[in-house]
């Protein structure tokens, strides 16, 4: 009986030792050593993440918005188109093939692809200031009394290109490319050979504000905020000139040269010889 009980005790002790070793070898839980952040640290972390997101997103969007929207809007405003529409008449249409023949096109879908097929639409317009009656569809009798200008090129916009569904070149060429077609248009005061089918000064200004000014301001403000939060952007005064200021103290007697001392002694000797104390 004693031997059986002793064996049981040994087995229990061995099991306890095994359990202890397993616990020691087992990886410790990370939650026990977890450091809790204060509300200031959390606010700083989330604020930094938000500002960095807005700064990167707004800055990257400028790379796409400037060439696609901002640059055409600035070019349109620089041409100084008339604000009130006049009437244009299509004189001829040319359908050309080949890279050398297609240096430009009245309308093309896609502004980055090479031109192998293009359509040239030429028009004449009324240069005088006219008022087009509302709800007027037949302009043939209206344009007969006005003098027409020289031949100009008709464009869907200042770049002559676009993307569906805003620009559909098949519909544009079929409607405006018909010989003798009359329709409202806008010509440039600086270059009267450029004519557009639609123009609005306020719309072009709105494009510049929404697609350039707003992302640019967001990028600048978020970048400044990140600099203030994580960098020392304060201007420090330069005090180096004080340290390098020359000393204006008088030289002490010890610093005087031997020649200056000898000259002073020579000047005092006559006075000593003249003065003789009474006997």
The model's pLDDT over 231-254, given as tens digits with 9 standing for 90+, comes to 865 556 655 555 555 555 555 545
Residue 153's pLDDT is what? 95
d(CA 111, CA 164): 12
Per-residue pLDDT, 263: 54
pLDDT of residue 272: 47
pLDDT at 256: 46
Residue of 53, 67, 60, 46 lying closest to 216 (CA atoms)? 60
Which residues in the chain come in under a pLDDT of 70? 1-5, 26-35, 144, 232-279
Tell me what pLDDT residue 184 has. Answer: 92
Would you state the pLDDT for residue 191?
Answer: 92
Specify the pLDDT at position 28: 61
Domains of the chain, by residue range, sit at 39-81+202-236, 83-198
State the pLDDT at residue 5: 67
pLDDT in tens, 121-175: 999 999 888 888 777 777 777 776 788 889 999 999 999 998 888 889 999 999 9
Rounded to whole angstroms, what are the CA distances from 71 to 55, 68, 77, 110, 210? 22, 7, 10, 16, 13
């Amino acid at each position: 009986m004693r031997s059986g009980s002793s064996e049981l005790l040994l087995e229990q002790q061995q099991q306890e030792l095994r359990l202890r070793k397993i616990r020691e070898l087992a990886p410790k839980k990370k939650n026990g050593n977890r450091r809790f952040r204060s509300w200031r640290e959390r606010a700083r972390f989330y604020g930094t993440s938000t500002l960095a997101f807005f700064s990167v997103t707004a800055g990257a969007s400028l790379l796409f918005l400037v060439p696609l929207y901002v640059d055409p809007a600035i070019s349109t405003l620089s041409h100084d188109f008339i604000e009130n529409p006049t009437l244009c008449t299509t004189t001829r249409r040319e359908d050309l093939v080949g890279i050398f023949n297609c240096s430009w096109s009245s309308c093309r879908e896609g502004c980055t692809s090479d031109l192998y097929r293009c359509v040239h639409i030429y028009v004449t317009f009324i240069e005088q200031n006219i008022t087009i009656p509302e709800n007027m569809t037949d302009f043939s009798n209206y344009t007969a009394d006005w003098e027409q200008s020289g031949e100009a090129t008709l464009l869907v916009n200042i770049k002559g290109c676009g993307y569906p569904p805003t620009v559909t070149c098949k519909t544009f060429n079929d409607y405006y490319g018909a010989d003798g077609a009359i329709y409202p248009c806008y010509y440039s005061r600086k270059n009267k050979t450029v004519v557009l089918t639609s123009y609005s000064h306020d719309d072009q200004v709105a494009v510049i504000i929404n697609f350039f000014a707003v992302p640019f301001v967001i990028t600048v403000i978020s970048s400044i905020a990140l600099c203030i939060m994580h960098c020392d952007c304060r201007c420090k005064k330069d005090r180096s000139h004080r340290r390098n200021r020359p000393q204006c103290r008088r030289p002490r007697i010890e610093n005087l040269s031997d020649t200056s001392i000898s000259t002073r002694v020579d000047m005092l000797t006559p006075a000593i010889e003249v003065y003789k104390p009474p006997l």
